[in-house]
Every structure is written in structure tokens, then in C-alpha cells.
Amino acid sequence: MSPAEIEGLQAALRSEHVAIWGYGIVGASVVLESRQAVRDVDAAHRSRRDELADLIRLRGADPEPTEASYELPFPVADPTSALKLAASLEAGVASGYAFAVSRSDSQRAKAFSLTALTDAALHQTSWHQLSGVTPLSPEFPGR
Amino acid sequence: MLLAGASLGAVGLGPALGACEATSGQPSTPTAAAIDPLTPVLIGQQELLATYKHTLAAFPDLTASVSDLQAQTSAHTEALRAAAPAAAGQVAAASPSPFPAQSGSGPDQPGDVVTARSDLRRAVQVAAGTLRAAALRADGDLAALLGSCAASTACHVRLLG
């Protein structure tokens, strides 16, 4: 449990905080048919955030708290921009976990981060499918 | 379709794999000095690209849904080659023609498009697992690159489902 590993996990946690905040905005702006999907992904991020906080505590550190709000990367005013934000949030989460992978020196932290990186890429692909963005899959998620 | 293990056996590299360290170019034993840990990963990627080529040559109707995945797999392979030049050199030495000329049908080519897509999906799934396993063994930026390629490839599995 090196300081570098904790630094990586904290970066991933920050990206989860941003995603959970952002999905509140996404959920308010997508079409009705997409809201359950947003709720499901939001719940997955909350669960992973809690697991991540536990991993950080197990390493003797305090998980970084969430901010009251974050800056949107672009205005979100309709379902199209909401799905674009959702994909952007997942790209951010993937970056957080890719950094965590690069800093991990324990198999547990690395495996956890690899799984979360993959899930973020899969979520991003789902949002691309809904919005018709191609290519559907990210080429180098997290990089 | 050839699997990475079969190819490694064919070039006599398989038995040394267990003794290798994760970091490219830093063998831990004299035996392991013969092989880079990324070599089997690159061989698997090349075989997957060959499977894409064979499949699309035999079933051009799949091109629209598969060409992006093929292009991304090619980009992954190039990035891994650049990150692991020692492994790339070993693969080139072991396989003078990593991308064999296309004849329109590869070995064991299925007879229908549904089976071809399913077989391709299975090959992609194997590659995703290989990349993830390599990421778990690697360190630093190389681990992140392998993890990124594994995540992208996992998306391909879903898109081929």
C-alpha cells in the first residue's frame, strides 16, 4: 500500500464524485425512456464509490470528500447534450481508473481499477449507442 | 483460428512464459531472457487481426458493424508494439508474415454469417481476457495501456453480441 497507490485511488474517487454529481444533471435532461438506464448507471457509480472509499480507508487514508458542485464541460439543455455529458462523465471515470491502474502496486487495487475502467468504457459505449455517436466504443478509454 | 498458446508452442516460446517478469524488457532469469512478457499478447493481437480479415473477406456484409472494431484493434496492436519494442521484435522474428495474404477464407472458416460473427466474438473475448491478464502482471503506464486496450476490447465483445 504505497502512497502512489493511494494517490491513484483518490484520483479515481474524485472521478466517481464528479460522475455521481453529473448524472443528476443527465437524469433531469434525458428523455423519459432513458431515465431508468441513467438511474442504473448512477447506482453502479455510487456502489463503486463506496467500495473505493473502503479500499482507501483500508490503506489508512481518508477518502477525499465530494465537492458541492462541479463545472460542466459544456451547457446541458436537452436530451442530446445530456447523453453527451453522460459519455463525457464515463470518459472522466475511465481516466481516473486508468491512472489508478498505473499507480497500483497491489493486485487488489489493480484488479478493482481494471474492472471499473472496463465498466466505464462499457457505459460510454451504451451512451454512444443511444445517441448514435460513432465509433461506438472508445479506442483508448482512460487515455 | 489459431490461439496464442498454439502459436507460442509453434515458435518454441511457450514453456518460458511462467518465468517472466511483468515489465517489458526486464527478464528475471536467464531462461526468461529469451522472451518478453508482451510477446504472447502481441501474437494474440495479430491473430485477432487476421481473424477480422478472414471474417470480413468471407462475409463482407459484416463490414459496416465490424470495421470500427477492427480499426481499433489495429490501433491497440500498434500502441502495444510501440510500448514494447522488444516484444515486437520477437514477434517479427518468430513470424515473418504476421498478416498473411487473404484468400477470402481462412482455416476453419464457418459457412454462415451468424456463426462467423459468433466465432469472431469468441476470439475477441479471448483477446480481452489476455489483455486484462497482462495488465494485472504489468506495472505503471504499460499496465494502464494494457488495461485501456482490454476495456476497449471488452466493448467490442458487447457490440458483437
Residue A142 lies in a domain: no
Residue from B65, B70, B146, B152 to probe the interface with A (highest A Cβ count within 10 Å)? B152
Mean pLDDT (10-residue bins), chain B, 161 residues: 40 37 46 82 97 97 97 98 96 70 56 95 98 98 98 98 95
Reported as a single tens digit per residue, the pLDDT across A62-116 is 999 999 999 999 999 999 999 999 999 999 999 999 999 999 999 999 999 999 9
Residue A118 lies in a domain: yes
Residue entry with cell 456502489:
A47
Residue A139 lies in a domain: no
A5, burial (CB in 10 Å: exposed 0-12, middle 13-18, buried 19+): buried
Residue A71 sits in which domain range?
3-131
The stretch A2-10 carries a mean pLDDT of 97
pLDDT of residue B32: 52
Min distance A26 CA to chain B CA atoms (Å): 22
What's the complex ipTM?
0.97
Q: Find how far residue B151's CA is from the centre of its chain.
A: 14
Flag whether pLDDT at A12 surpasses 90. Answer: yes
DSSP readout, chain B?
Answer: ---HHHHHHHTT-GGGGGG--SSTT--SSTTGGG--TTHHHHHHHHHHHHHHHHHHHH-GGGHHHHHHHHHHHHHHHHHHHHH-HHHHHHHHHH-S-SSPPP-S--TT--SSHHHHHHHHHHHHHHHHHHHHHHHHH--HHHHHHHHHHHHHHHHHHHHT-
Evaluate if pTM is beyond 0.80: yes
CA B41, B157, B152, B10: dihedral to nearest 10 degrees?
10
Tell me how crowded residue B15 is: count the other CB atoms within 10 A of its CB: 12
Question: In CATH, what is the architecture of B4-159?
Answer: Up-down Bundle (1.20)
pLDDT of residue B106: 52
pLDDT of residue A94: 98
Min distance A138 CA to chain B CA atoms (Å): 6
Q: Is B152 in Cβ contact with A121 (below 8 Å)?
A: yes
Residue A75 lies in a domain: yes
Q: Supply the CATH number for residue A44's domain.
A: 1.20.1260.10
Q: Is A110 in Cβ contact with B143 (below 8 Å)?
A: yes
Specify the number of domains making up chain A.
Answer: 1
Calpha distance B116→B113 (Å, rounded): 5
Backbone dihedral region of B124: left (phi > 0), alpha (psi from -120 to 50 degrees) or beta?
Answer: alpha
pLDDT of residue B109: 74
pLDDT of residue A35: 97
Residue B158 has its nearest CB partner, among A105, A120, A125, at A125
Residue from B73, B146, B155 to probe the interface with A (highest A Cβ count within 10 Å)? B155
Residue A90 lies in a domain: yes
Q: What 8-state DSSP symbol labels residue B30?
A: T
Q: Which chain B residues touch A140 with a CB distance below 8 Å?
A: 75-76, 79, 145, 148-149, 152
